[in-house]
């Protein structure tokens, strides 16, 4: 079926469940689900009930859309996101962002777990993403353009909204949260990188590496949605000091950062 029609059917289904109108869309990364506990929930819809919605496969994610209030603003939170490495294509990965736009979402907030390439960074610190490098091999905009949603060749000169970045940096200072600003490089995964690959990613200008966020960002920007994104630095990837890590350690490091991440996102939304 036509992709645009699928998006519209998903939106129509959601509209039958709730007439709630979220201004902010929030996508939570691996191990970073705690923010949903702060949401004053109005309505919840399981991914599996929404027509054409992909289903979560990673066990650390439980998939649903949560509608409600955060910092007195209206939000829809994606609890559980879709990664390319799970086997979804990029149209599936970004389907929920398209749906959010048609539900009226104005701004997109993204969190993710990522590996630190910048040697000034420490585990469980936060990095506000101010730019990205896309090394993923499939682009979500490939194929016939959905002219109704956005242009064929979207501008990417400000992929991450400068005014939300400025707000976040000020909040970081006020709240005494260490907040880096840097470039995120998106890779396919699911394996982590070799020493030589980390070295390359650092050399080409990246401060953190992860397997998400870039496709959602591209689709959001095509639809003119400002994006704010934060990486939680879950492991240190300095090529000279590379240590073995496990997904459990990544999740533990993410959880340690959650209180700061939650505080930051709450306040950025309050002031955006």
Strands (E), the chain: 24-27, 40-46, 64-70, 73-79, 107-116, 126-134, 179-186, 208-210, 227-236
Tokens describing residue 183: 């470039």
CB of 238 to ligand HPA, least distance (A): 11
Task: Report the residue number, 42 or 245, with the smaller CB distance to ligand HPA.
Answer: 245
Residue 227 touching ligand HPA (CB under 6 A): no
- The residues, ordered by sequence, that sit 6+ positions from 149 with a Cβ below 8 Å of its Cβ are 4, 98, 101, 222, 223
Kindly indicate which of the ranges 44-52, 70-78, 145-153, 233-241 contains the residues binding ligand HPA, using the contact rule CB under 6 A: 233-241
Residue 250 touching ligand HPA (CB under 6 A): yes
DSSP state of 110: E
Residue 29 touching ligand HPA (CB under 6 A): no
- Peptide bond preceding 152: is omega within 30 degrees of 0, i.e. cis? no
Q: What is the DSSP string of 146-204?
A: -TTT--SS---S-SS-HHHHHHHHHHHHHHT--EEEEEEEE---SS---HHHHHHHHHT
Residue 192 touching ligand HPA (CB under 6 A): yes
CB of 57 to ligand HPA, least distance (A): 17
Q: Within 170-189, which residues bind ligand HPA (CB under 6 A)?
A: 187, 189
Residue 237 touching ligand HPA (CB under 6 A): yes
Can you tell me which of 22, 33, 63, 115 binds ligand HPA, judged by CB under 6 A? 115
CA–CA dist 158, 150 (Å, integer): 16
Kindly indicate which of the ranges 52-60, 109-117, 217-225, 259-267 contains the residues binding ligand HPA, using the contact rule CB under 6 A: 109-117
Can you tell me which of 10, 128, 211, 223 binds ligand HPA, judged by CB under 6 A? 211
Size of interface with ligand HPA, in residues (CB under 6 A): 14
Residue 114 touching ligand HPA (CB under 6 A): yes
CA–CA dist 128, 179 (Å, integer): 7
List interacting residues with ligand HPA (CB under 6 A): 113-115, 187, 189, 192-193, 209-211, 234-235, 237, 250
């Amino acid at each position: 079926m036509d992709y645009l029609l699928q998006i519209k059917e998903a939106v129509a289904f959601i509209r039958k469940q709730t007439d709630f109108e979220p201004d902010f869309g929030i996508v939570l990364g691996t191990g970073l689900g705690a923010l949903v506990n702060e949401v004053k929930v109005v309505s919840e819809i399981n991914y599996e009930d929404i027509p054409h919605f992909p289903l979560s496969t990673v066990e650390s994610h439980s998939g649903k859309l949560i509608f409600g209030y955060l910092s007195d603003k209206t939000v829809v939170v994606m609890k559980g996101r879709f990664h390319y490495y799970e086997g979804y294509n990029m149209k599936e990965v970004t389907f929920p962002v398209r749906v959010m736009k048609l539900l009226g979402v104005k701004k997109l907030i993204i969190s993710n777990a990522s590996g630190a390439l910048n040697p000034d960074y420490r585990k469980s610190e936060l990095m506000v993403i101010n730019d990205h490098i896309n090394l993923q091999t499939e682009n979500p905009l490939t194929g016939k353009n959905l002219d109704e949603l956005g242009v064929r060749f979207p501008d990417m000169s400000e992929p991450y909204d400068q005014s939300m970045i400025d707000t976040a940096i000020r909040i970081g200072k006020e709240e005494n949260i260490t907040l880096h600003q840097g470039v995120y490089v998106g890779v396919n995964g699911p394996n982590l990188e070799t020493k030589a690959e980390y070295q390359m990613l650092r050399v080409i200008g990246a401060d953190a590496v992860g397997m998400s966020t870039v496709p959602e960002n591209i689709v959001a920007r095509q639809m003119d949605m400002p994006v704010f994104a934060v990486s939680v630095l879950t492991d240190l990837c300095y090529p000279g000091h590379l240590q073995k890590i496990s997904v459990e350690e990544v999740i533990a490091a993410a959880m340690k950062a959650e209180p700061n991440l939650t505080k930051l996102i709450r306040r950025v939304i309050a002031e955006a």
